[in-house]
């Protein structure tokens, strides 16, 4: 099939950026979306033009490195799927595809579709860790964890930090990401000692990174390739409220 791509090109953070139209010819239905872009890039390089820059690593949907807004939807039209796992059988000959980077003040564009997501790393660094004794691994089940808590913590921990929640949010809020990173530790006994400090420090860092405020639209949950629930945002709010009230006394 032949497709028309409208791709955001931006040479540097200071460049204004613009959409450039490319023809993607002879695209196979079994190609992944990123393989399709690889082929387009080969053509660009053959013509001596700059290839389209985009982030990618595992191409198995588990690392969280890739991400772009495809026809107005983060990671494209497939639910619970990163853009590397989107396949071209979704499209028909002659389709137009608009490709944009994540757009948020907290994610400045580095080049084309590549954005700087170190803001998310700084949120994790602010409190997304536990104090643990180093040395040999502790015995299994030395600390009992209720099954339901373990399951919920695992759900939260499935966040791959891709930033699709921020990209989808009309407010460019990072609440779903932060809530998942707070919850997967706060739900477990191992994370309990720093619970109040963690939620406050991570929220303050989130605020400092120029993300927007949550209006409970739920677009983040819909866009999340790992199906993280907005229930974790409620949990974050609850933990924050109790930590803030506890500290003001």
Q: Which residues here bind other proteins, judged by CB under 8 A? A: 19, 69, 71-73, 98, 100, 103-106, 109, 168, 170-173, 200, 203-204, 207, 210-219, 221-223, 230-231, 233-241, 243-245, 247-249
Nearer to other proteins, 80 or 238 (CB): 238
Residue 247 CB, shortest distance to other proteins, in Å, is: 5
In whole angstroms, how close is the CB of 175 to other proteins at the nearest point?
8
Nearest distance from C-beta of residue 220 to other proteins, angstroms: 8
CB-nearer residue toward other proteins: 41 or 222: 222
Q: Is 112 helix (H, G, I), strand (E, B) or coil?
A: coil
| Under 8 Å between Cβ of 76 and 83 | yes
Nearest to 177 by CA among 99, 76, 107: 107
Exposure of 239 by Cβ count < 10 A (0-12 exposed, 13-18 middle, 19+ buried)?
A: buried
Q: Are 91 and 1 in contact (CB under 8 A)?
A: yes
CB of 150 to other proteins, least distance (A): 16
Name the DSSP letter for residue 97.
Answer: E
88 or 172: CB nearest other proteins = 172
Q: Of 29 and 105, which CB lies nearer to other proteins in the complex structure?
A: 105
Residue 104, strand partner residues: 107
* Encoded tokens for 24: 């993607």
């Amino acid at each position: 099939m032949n497709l028309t791509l409208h791709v955001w090109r931006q040479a540097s953070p200071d460049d204004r950026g613009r959409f450039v139209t490319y023809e993607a010819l002879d695209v196979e239905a079994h190609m992944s979306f990123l393989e399709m872009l690889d082929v387009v890039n080969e053509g660009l390089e053959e013509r001596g033009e700059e290839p389209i820059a985009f982030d990618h690593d595992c191409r198995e949907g588990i690392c969280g490195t890739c991400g772009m807004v495809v026809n107005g939807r983060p990671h494209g039209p497939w639910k619970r799927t990163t853009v590397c796992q989107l396949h071209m059988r979704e499209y028909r000959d002659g389709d137009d595809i608009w490709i944009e980077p994540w757009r948020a003040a907290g994610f400045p564009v580095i080049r084309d579709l590549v954005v700087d997501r170190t803001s998310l790393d700084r949120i994790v660094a602010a409190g997304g860790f536990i104090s643990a004794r180093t040395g040999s691994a502790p015995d299994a089940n030395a600390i009992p964890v209720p099954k339901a808590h373990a399951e919920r913590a695992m759900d939260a921990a499935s966040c791959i930090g891709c930033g699709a929640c921020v990209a989808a949010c009309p407010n460019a809020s990072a609440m779903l990401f932060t809530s998942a990173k707070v919850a997967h530790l706060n739900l477990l006994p191992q994370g309990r000692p720093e619970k109040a400090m963690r939620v406050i420090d991570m929220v303050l860092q989130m605020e400092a990174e120029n993300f927007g405020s949550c209006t409970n639209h739920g677009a983040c949950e819909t866009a999340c390739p790992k199906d993280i629930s907005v229930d974790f945002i409620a949990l974050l709010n609850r933990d924050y409220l109790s930590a803030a009230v506890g500290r003001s006394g």
